[in-house]
Amino acid sequence: MENNQYDIRINVNTSYIDDQSEPDADRYVFAYTITISNVGAVPATLLSRHWIITDANGKVQEVSGDGVVGEQPHLNPGERFRYSSGAVLATPVGAMQGLYRMETDTGASFDAPIAAFTLAVPGLLH
């Protein structure tokens, strides 16, 4: 049973950046915008991120670091934080998933999982 005092919802929108991509050089650039919503009962700060990025060749990149886009947003219940970032793949299709490490104001830490989402050149997947 999930402890619903800690409830971070993560929504992802992705797009393909055609003018920065070079398919002939196996370079596909994607942008993603993430909205992090605290729908739980306690305030929490996003301390760090851990991403697993997989391309269509099965190549896996793991990316970890403090915060997101240079920030460690503090979210009170009902608050949201939105940011945009990007990923570069060697294939026109890939996937990302991961987690955010969160910490409450009282020092308890918990993970907010980020469900896998697809990065794909438009028109490629049906």
Quick one: DSSP state of residue 14? E
Average pLDDT over residues 107-116: 97
Instruction: Residue 36: name the closest of 65, 7, 64 by CA.
Output: 7
Do the beta carbons of residue 101 and residue 111 sit within 8 Å? yes
**pLDDT interval class at 5 (50, 70, 90):** confident
Do the beta carbons of residue 37 and residue 9 sit within 8 Å? yes
The CA-CA-CA angle for residues 55, 117, 60, to 5°, reads: 30
Quick one: DSSP state of residue 17? -
Tokens of 50: 């851990």
Do the beta carbons of residue 54 and residue 87 sit within 8 Å? no
Average pLDDT over residues 59-69: 96
Neighbours of 9 (CB within 10 A): 12
pTM: 0.91
CATH class of 8-120: mainly beta
**pLDDT interval class at 1 (50, 70, 90):** very low
Do the beta carbons of residue 32 and residue 118 sit within 8 Å? no
